[in-house]
Structure 1
Amino acid sequence: MEIPLKSYLTEILDRVRDRDSGAVADYIPELAAADPTPLAVALCTSAGRVYSAGDDEREFSIQSISKSFTYAIALQEVGVEKVLGTVGMEPSGEAFNELSLEGGTHRPVNPMINAGAIAVNQLINGEDSSVDARVTVLLDYFSRLAGRELHIDERITGSELATADRNLSLAHMLRSYGVIAGSAADAVTGYVRQCSVLVTVRDLAVMGATLALGGRQPVTGEQVLDPRVCRQVQAVMASAGMYDGAGRWMASVGIPAKSGVAGGLMGTLPGQLGLATFSPRLDSSGNSVRGAEIFRILSEDMGLHLMSALPSTGSAVRSIRTRGPVTVIRLQGGLGFTGAEDFLAAAAAHELTTVRVVVDMRRVSDIDAFGREMVLEGLRRIRTDGHRIAVIDPDHLLGDRRLGDGTTVEETDEVAVEVADEVK
């Protein structure tokens, strides 16, 4: 059975494809010359399953999305106290490249604006580290987070350094207050090289999922970061990741996120998944126009808003048992996107061969609209593959059990219960 998420993601891309508002970043020559048309989306589940659509293999520079991960690495390497002594964590309410520092302490307000990111970069590998050694540490961490070896686009590095006057001004200001110890030029070079790492939306979705899962990389299984580090990073992303529009973003979309001026956008749903989009045209705040709209659609359709998502603990599939001509799939807990995807993936991986398939929902506590549609579509696909299906749904969570082709599940609940209880 094919899981229908790729076709759903493709449909979302088609809904936003013709929107052409915004413009590519024009203050960096390499980005100003970029093709504005690419469009891609990806999500990675807690089980390490990655679903994507569009230009999902196209590489682009990570840009300011790197700030989230460099902040995480600094917390991991030098500890919270040292990092908080260097950079604050309050929303700035200003543009990402504003020439301003926190009153009194002279710290950058948070690590998601350029001044904060430059300061955080200098914490990596010690204050006496060379630029190359510092970048090597960052690139190794980024690669482990993505689950593959990543590389730096030196053309983008050169292009950004040629137009880095404002960032150099920030670095000189930081140095004048003793926030950084190295030269302003080295600080900006390290920061720009960090921003020039090439990624795909699939990479970003996996990297986001690693933050969402408390530092456990869902594909490789490696514990890359400490859970407390990931909690701190996502909290700051929620309040400052989308710059001066962060408050509106969290109220309307409700997904901790970080954007980059190459057109990437990465988000996390704690404990559940990471997601990412790529579309180069930006709004006035420097956020991808079509990418932000895709996030809004996903949040609304899939119930991903942080303040309203169904709880997800453990697997939604309690068991899959087969005896003779019958397979029984027992579900449990809340069936939002994560739980419903768990059901579809388990059914697909099991390679159902029996004549009859019974889905037992007696232990399901709740289901949202998107989860309901996913379960019903899964039932339709199981039947299309040649199986007779039945559902035990005493609380009528699936409504009238009408499938996508207009038909309903044929068998009665009484028959399904009898069959299910025979298969232990």
Structure 2
Amino acid sequence: MESPIESYLKTIHREISDLRDGKPYSTIPAMANVDPDNFGICLTTVDGYMYEVGDTREEFTIQSISKPFTYGLALADLGMEAVDAKVDVEPSGDTFNEISLAPGSGRPSNAMINAGALTATSLVRSRGGNTRFKRILGTYSQFAGRQLGVDEEIFRSEVEHGHRNRALAYLLRSFDIIEDDPTPVIEDYFRQCSVMVNCMDLSIMAATLANSGRNPITGVEVLDLLSVERVLSVMTTCGMYDDAGSWISTVGMPAKSGVAGGTIAVLPGQVGLAIYSPPLDEHGSSVRGMAASQRLSRDMELHFVRAARAGKSAIRAAYDIRATPSGIRRTDEAMDVLREHGHRARVIELNGDLLFAGTESMVRELSGLDDDVDFVILDLRRVDEVADVSLRLLGEARENLTKVGCGLVLIDGEGTLAETFKDVDVPVPTFDTRTAAVEWCENELITRHGGDLLLPSTVEVSQCPALSPLTAEDIESLTLRMEDRTYEKGHVVRRVGQVFGGVYFILSGKIVTSVPGPSGERLKLTTLSAGMTFGELALGSDDRQETTVKALEDVHVKVLTASAIRAIEEEDPKLAVELWKALTRDAYTRVDLYLRETAVRIRD
């Protein structure tokens, strides 16, 4: 099943591709011949999952997107105090190549403009046998998760035509901001701008910043958290130069653009976004990059004000219903069907806030379901806040599930998603408890894969599974000793504490067993239907009833009373032994189901 997020990215890629404003950067001749139709969008989550559409593998030079990564390396090398002494953290409000130096000291306003970026490059030192540029390139490569290289043609063109940057470097040297010969610094700066990347690389680099400096693909910690914090702060206020105010208002993520057409945006704790499209606006940013970022931020609610909390996976657990059976007693044939086909119904437990990152993890899980899954149960009982984007994506995911023949089932006692599925063509089954949802799925699986005969509405005593080990003659003898009883819907058949009253064989209808909860509420244990028995477990509890038994609908039963059982023990010991063997076997089967369900409740 295609992910709704993939579908959405394809849609906005198709629509924004029609934008024809702007022109590729031409100041550096080697960059002027790029195809203006190149357009790629790549989004990488902090757990390393990637969505991509368009020209995401087309290589281009990193240009000014290099600035935050070199700045981070300088911070890691020297510490904030030493770096702050050379380059400030204030927005300049100027274009990327403006001369924004503090009067008197000559300190650049920030590390995102060219003067500050040249300063940051000068602060990186050779170390461990590696030159300054090898360390810079190594850092970029660690951020990208692969070895990057330099486009030598563009580097030479930068050297030949980068007169303003050369002038800035010498001006910085005159203030002793750059402390040595600026020529090697200029060359290293031009080389770092000429590093070749693609949209996928930039997305991983952005996701590494989003992941507190740890590459989500390789697991390598590239930058310490304190340095990441400073880098993202400066990107927020200064990364988009004289367009920073508009960007933070409409997109709301730390970002950096480059004149080759790349744009990155970082939502800390959640996702890294990269867009590539060469035509630029008057601020030197990609026209399609701006438009796509604005759409994504608005539609996916990625603005930092909306998505302020860390985007941990919303998935608490995922398993099939064989791990948490409903507790309903089934025939042996029905149990065989559930053992073989129980994997076709999956439970996904969600928790926390369903913001973008949490929703993405849920949608990814739904999109990756095996083809033979018939039902997916979403357990929403631990979900707190649900963003509008989550409701929309879940609605689209449900439509996609329906197309591939998979039904959505909800555990949603609070009605969290009630409005989302209010007007759908096929109602979404919704339950208050997991037991009820699993019971419904079990019944559907038995019907689909075992035939309707496995869920009879009416049976004879001889068809009750508990008596299956007995001979027909023994069953007939027992039946003759049974009492015939009926109970109306809602009638309490047995109460907690009552003495053993016999073994009840359900011929039609359903009953439910429950126990008192810690706060006085009733906790449902099992639902029993035609062919099932109850009452005999009291024999293992000092002959006292430990559950309340209530009729869910009109019920018809046969009862082998306590006095009838005593009479059998006196008059036909052999039949009594066979009866107890059969009931013991059935009880062990039930206890096994109880233990599995109890284990899940304890885990909860």
Q: TM-score, normalised by structure 1?
A: 0.94
**Quick one: structure 1 residues 248 and 401, their matched pair in 2 at CA, closer, same or farther if it must change by over 3 Å?**
closer
Query: Does the CA-based 8 Å contact 2:311-2:355 persist in structure 1?
Result: no
Query: Does the CA-based 8 Å contact 2:96-2:112 persist in structure 1?
Result: yes
Query: Does the CA-based 8 Å contact 1:310-1:336 persist in structure 2?
Result: no
Within the alignment, does 1:299 sit opposite 2:297 as a pair? Answer: yes
Unpaired stretches in structure 1, ≥5 consecutive residues: none
For the residues of structure 2 that align with 1:237 and 1:408, how far apart are their CA atoms?
Answer: 47
Within the alignment, does 1:11 sit opposite 2:40 as a pair? Answer: no
Q: CA deviation at 1:397?
A: 2.9
For the residues of structure 2 that align with 1:97 and 1:412, how far apart are their CA atoms?
Answer: 59
Within the alignment, does 1:275 sit opposite 2:273 as a pair? Answer: yes
Partner residue in 2 for 1:27? 27
For the residues of structure 2 that align with 1:350 and 1:116, how far apart are their CA atoms?
Answer: 49
Higher mean alpha-carbon deviation, 72-81 vs 293-302, is at 72-81
Specify the SS of the correspondent of 1:237.
helix
Query: Does the CA-based 8 Å contact 1:391-1:409 persist in structure 2?
Result: no
Specify the SS of the correspondent of 2:123.
coil
Within the alignment, does 1:154 sit opposite 2:152 as a pair? Answer: yes
**1:66-215 paired onto structure 2 within 5 Å:** 66-126=66-126, 133-215=131-213
For the residues of structure 2 that align with 1:311 and 1:417, how far apart are their CA atoms?
Answer: 32
Which of the residues 413, 421, 425 maps onto 1:407? 425
For the residues of structure 2 that align with 1:125 and 1:403, how far apart are their CA atoms?
Answer: 62
Specify the SS of the correspondent of 1:33.
coil
**Quick one: structure 1 residues 403 and 16, their matched pair in 2 at CA, closer, same or farther if it must change by over 3 Å?**
farther
**Quick one: structure 1 residues 370 and 156, their matched pair in 2 at CA, closer, same or farther if it must change by over 3 Å?**
same
**1:238-317 paired onto structure 2 within 5 Å:** 238-309=236-307, 311-317=309-315
Q: CA deviation at 1:6?
A: 2.2
For the residues of structure 2 that align with 1:373 and 1:310, how far apart are their CA atoms?
Answer: 20
Q: Deviation per CA, 1:61-84, whole angstroms, max 9, x where unpaired?
A: 000000011001111122111111
Higher mean alpha-carbon deviation, 342-351 vs 59-68, is at 342-351
| Aligned residue identity for 1:418 | A
| Aligned residue identity for 2:425 | T
For the residues of structure 2 that align with 1:298 and 1:419, how far apart are their CA atoms?
Answer: 35
Specify the SS of the correspondent of 1:418.
helix
Partner residue in 1 for 2:567? none
Query: Does the CA-based 8 Å contact 1:392-1:417 persist in structure 2?
Result: no
For the residues of structure 1 that align with 2:348 and 2:422, how far apart are their CA atoms?
Answer: 18
Which of the residues 320, 329, 332 maps onto 2:318? 320
Q: CA deviation at 1:313?
A: 4.9
Partner residue in 2 for 1:329? 348
Q: CA deviation at 1:30?
A: 1.3
Q: CA deviation at 1:295?
A: 0.3
Specify the SS of the correspondent of 1:277.
strand
Query: Does the CA-based 8 Å contact 1:380-1:403 persist in structure 2?
Result: no
Q: CA deviation at 1:335?
A: 1.0
Query: Does the CA-based 8 Å contact 2:311-2:358 persist in structure 1?
Result: no
**1:343-362 paired onto structure 2 within 5 Å:** 343-349=362-368, 351=370, 353-362=372-381
**Quick one: structure 1 residues 3 and 83, their matched pair in 2 at CA, closer, same or farther if it must change by over 3 Å?**
same
Higher mean alpha-carbon deviation, 265-274 vs 379-388, is at 379-388
Q: Deviation per CA, 1:253-289, whole angstroms, max 9, x where unpaired?
A: 1111000000100010011110010111111111111
For the residues of structure 1 that align with 2:182 and 2:49, how far apart are their CA atoms?
Answer: 42
Q: CA deviation at 1:174?
A: 0.5
Q: CA deviation at 1:310?
A: 5.5
Within the alignment, does 1:231 sit opposite 2:244 as a pair? Answer: no
For the residues of structure 2 that align with 1:176 and 1:248, how far apart are their CA atoms?
Answer: 34
Which of the residues 426, 432, 437 maps onto 1:419? 437
Specify the SS of the correspondent of 1:363.
strand
Higher mean alpha-carbon deviation, 352-361 vs 285-294, is at 352-361
Runs of 4+ displaced beyond 4 Å: 414-417, 420-423
Q: TM-score, normalised by structure 2?
A: 0.67
In the comparison of the two structures, how many residue pairs are matched? 421
| Aligned residue identity for 1:246 | A
| Aligned residue identity for 1:235 | S
Higher mean alpha-carbon deviation, 379-388 vs 86-95, is at 379-388
| Aligned residue identity for 2:429 | E
Q: CA deviation at 1:378?
A: 2.3
Between the two structures, name the one with larger relative contact order (CA 8 Å, sep ≥ 6): 1
Partner residue in 1 for 2:416? 397
Q: Deviation per CA, 1:282-308, whole angstroms, max 9, x where unpaired?
A: 111111111001000000000000112
| Aligned residue identity for 2:74 | A
Q: CA deviation at 1:374?
A: 1.6
Specify the SS of the correspondent of 2:408.
strand
For the residues of structure 2 that align with 1:129 and 1:357, how far apart are their CA atoms?
Answer: 54
Partner residue in 1 for 2:388? 369
Query: Does the CA-based 8 Å contact 1:282-1:289 persist in structure 2?
Result: yes
Partner residue in 2 for 1:342? 361
For the residues of structure 1 that align with 2:183 and 2:387, how far apart are their CA atoms?
Answer: 52
For the residues of structure 2 that align with 1:366 and 1:65, how far apart are their CA atoms?
Answer: 35
Specify the SS of the correspondent of 2:319.
strand
For the residues of structure 2 that align with 1:329 and 1:256, how far apart are their CA atoms?
Answer: 33
Pairwise CA RMSD of aligned residues? 2.2
Q: Deviation per CA, 1:293-348, whole angstroms, max 9, x where unpaired?
A: 10000000000001121623532011112214232111111112211111122334
Q: Deviation per CA, 1:197-228, whole angstroms, max 9, x where unpaired?
A: 11111111110111111101001111111011
For the residues of structure 1 that align with 2:360 and 2:434, how far apart are their CA atoms?
Answer: 23
For the residues of structure 1 that align with 2:278 and 2:69, how far apart are their CA atoms?
Answer: 21
For the residues of structure 1 that align with 2:300 and 2:99, how far apart are their CA atoms?
Answer: 39
Partner residue in 1 for 2:442? none
| Aligned residue identity for 1:141 | T
Q: CA deviation at 1:409?
A: 3.9
Query: Does the CA-based 8 Å contact 1:278-1:291 persist in structure 2?
Result: yes
Partner residue in 2 for 1:48? 48
| Aligned residue identity for 2:13 | L
**Quick one: structure 1 residues 374 and 403, their matched pair in 2 at CA, closer, same or farther if it must change by over 3 Å?**
farther
Specify the SS of the correspondent of 2:161.
coil
Q: CA deviation at 1:44?
A: 0.5
Q: Deviation per CA, 1:373-419, whole angstroms, max 9, x where unpaired?
A: 22222233334333332112233332434499x53444242586513
